[in-house]
Amino acid sequence: MPTAAALRTGGDASPAASMGDAVPFHGAHQAGIATAVQDRLHFAAFDVTTTDRAALVKLLQEWTAAAARMTAGHEIGSGAVGENDELPPDDTGEALGLKPSRLTLTFGVGPGLFEKDGKDRFGLKARRPKALIDLPGFPGDNLDPARSGGDLCVQACADDPQVAVHAIRNLARIGMGKVAIRWSQLGFGKTSSTTPDAQTPRNMMGFKDGTRNIAGTDKAALDKHVWVGEKDGPEWMVGGSYLVARRIRMHIETWDRTSLAEQEDIFGRDKAEGAPVGKQRERDEPLLKAMKPDSHVRLAHPDSNNGVTILRRGYSFTDGTDGLGRLDAGLFFIAYQKDVRDGFVPLQTNLARNDALNEYIQHVGSAVFAVPPGVRGAGDWWGKALFA
């Protein structure tokens, strides 16, 4: 088996050996979910502006073709320097000479694609999955409508930020007149890992994040908690998953004035090693009763949530300041699960009501998407089964 590429056979993902490698685009599941988490993110949610179903289908076909080329490290269309210099080039060119950088592009559809303002926009209303719910309001939410929702989404992850930005930029350009970016988010410093043998990353609060995340090679856990099965329905979603994205603002300045002892009590782990209370090593099994009742690890643990387990794939962000001299920084939380109703909703309900960390964070953006299965090969495209 080659060691220089990330192989996806039967939909399973194994880590790429090098930051410059290409992650195969085709497979049973979309890349960018169980794939080894890259260092950078550009996430974009789109509003569909066309009312023409055929035009939307054509766009998704064009997006799929472009995504397959970009993830392989190729220019799209006739490239950045076409034969006719009287026309705009097909590729914007800022990724010329750059390696694929393990770019993955993951596509999803939001509730608004099925119905908006009471209208069945594209004849898809009856095909909306029951698991694609409108998320309830959670205690403490302060959601900005301009940073929430979306009819479509594309998650671009790569080890080079320019490669990720190039991908979203070119998909938006291809979609001009049919879709428009509703909101987007750049992310750095992955805050979760699907490779538990690697060093656990830290979030903006300085604590290790994602210690108990699902491994991208754990097929049993992925089948149980992440991938939609044949019995879960609908048929067009089998092999897919459901994505919840939350923009979580951290009150950095307040946190930085909090004592180390209190910080560790809030998380339920020590800051240096990441060991749970009373233990020595990060991956020691936590003794939940030894933690304070409102500690984050205790409340987020599957044992405190009837076994709820999600695959986290979040990133840190820093978007300048808020006009009052405070950093606009935090966590862009991304979670994949088989059913949002049995995953994120009960977990976040528990955290929103009880977590001591809530004093230092606030959820300011939110979206949920159905992520179809992978593109199988020639003739297949993002969302084909949905429109069949």
Contact 31, 374 (CB under 8 A): yes
Contacts of residue 170, defined as CB under 8 A and 6 or more positions apart, other chains included, come to 66, 70, 76, 91, 92
pLDDT (tens digit, 9 = 90+) per residue, 103-120?
999 999 999 999 999 999
For the chain, the domains span 40-79+90-115+138-371
CA distance 15 to 159: 13
Nearest to 216 by CA among 19, 29, 22, 21: 29
Contact 374, 27 (CB under 8 A): yes
pLDDT (tens digit, 9 = 90+) per residue, 250-300?
999 999 999 999 999 999 999 999 999 999 999 999 999 999 999 999 999
Contacts of residue 13, defined as CB under 8 A and 6 or more positions apart, other chains included, come to 6, 23, 29, 31, 33, 34, 35, 36, 194, 216, 217
CA distance 30 to 382: 10
- Beta strands 104-109 and 315-321 are unpaired
Over residues 227-231, the mean pLDDT reads: 97
Over residues 202-219, the mean pLDDT reads: 92
Quote the distance between the C-alpha of residue 375 and its chain's center: 18
Contacts of residue 74, defined as CB under 8 A and 6 or more positions apart, other chains included, come to none
For 176, the 3-state DSSP assignment is: strand
Residue 96 has pLDDT above 90, yes or no: yes
Contact 205, 124 (CB under 8 A): no
